[in-house]
Amino acid sequence: MTAQTTEELVKVYESYLAALKAKRLEAALAPLIKKVREETRQQIRTGADQAEFFESHAPLSYEAVGITRSKSGAKATVYFIGTFPVPEAAQKANKLPPKMRFEYFIEFHKEAGLWKMDVPTMTANPDEIARPADFDMGVPADYAESSFATAGGRILKAEPAKQGTIYLIRVTDEEIAVWVRPEVKYEASEFIPGQIVEFEGSFHKGDKRKMLARTAKVYPY
């Protein structure tokens, strides 16, 4: 997949959003994968159901911030950050602002040669993500050698270190900096932003969001 493919996927999403804004049900269902399209038709039975469907999935603004691609080329996940309106009832009940930012992702699948999308899945508020204090990874002695941990997630970025490479990965609602030293044998060419990977190693004694890797592998997608 290329950057052109990413643009193509975002356009599928844009067609979905345009149909939501225009309150055109069939046009909004058209970009969805067959299974979700059929399930949604079953769920939307009244005018109130339609109104909720049109309002609950549309952000006020959004940007695509990453993509994970399958080797087969038949599946991809695009990651977004969007600003969403907060219903008045939720604002009053939970003392929330009129709008909030959320991270979300959309899985895309090829069906009959065309890209179709699943419904967006909300994840977390990007302003509340826990991150490592910095990218100063220290020395191997700074890591708890007696401990053993596994961390897996999506690569956000890769930076060269004095020895090896530092990968910043997203793990659920936090980010972890993983230091992979030259002696670790792995396919570095496959460790690119968007790739889902898994590391085994030890956490830093002073910052649990830093890891020294002993092994590194690509997670099948």
Q: What is the pLDDT of residues 157-193, one digit of tens each?
A: 999 999 999 999 999 889 999 999 999 999 999 998 8
At residue 1, does pLDDT exceed 80?
Answer: no
pLDDT score at 196: 93
Mean pLDDT to the nearest integer, 116-145: 93
At residue 56, does pLDDT exceed 80?
Answer: no
At residue 145, does pLDDT exceed 90?
Answer: no
pLDDT score at 72: 86
Fold designation for 140-218:
OB fold (Dihydrolipoamide Acetyltransferase, E2P) (2.40.50)
Q: Start-end ranges of CATH 2.40.50.140 in the chain?
A: 140-218
Ramachandran category for residue 55: left, alpha or beta (phi over 0 → left; psi -120 to 50 → alpha): alpha
At residue 2, does pLDDT exceed 70?
Answer: no
pLDDT score at 132: 95
Mean pLDDT to the nearest integer, 135-141: 95
Q: What is the pLDDT of residues 72-116, one digit of tens each?
A: 889 999 999 999 888 888 899 999 999 999 999 999 999 999 999
Which helix or strand (DSSP H or E) is residue 175 part of? Answer: strand 174-180
First-to-last C-alpha distance (Å) of the chain: 14
Which of 221, 170, 213 lies closest to 188, judged by CA? 213
pLDDT score at 134: 95
Q: Start-end ranges of CATH 3.10.450.50 in the chain?
A: 3-127
Fold designation for 3-127:
Nuclear Transport Factor 2; Chain: A, (3.10.450)
**Overall size of the chain counted in residues:** 221
pLDDT score at 172: 84
Question: What values do phi and psi take at 149, rounded to 5?
Answer: -145, 160
pLDDT-above-70 percentage for the chain: 97
| Global confidence as pTM | 0.81
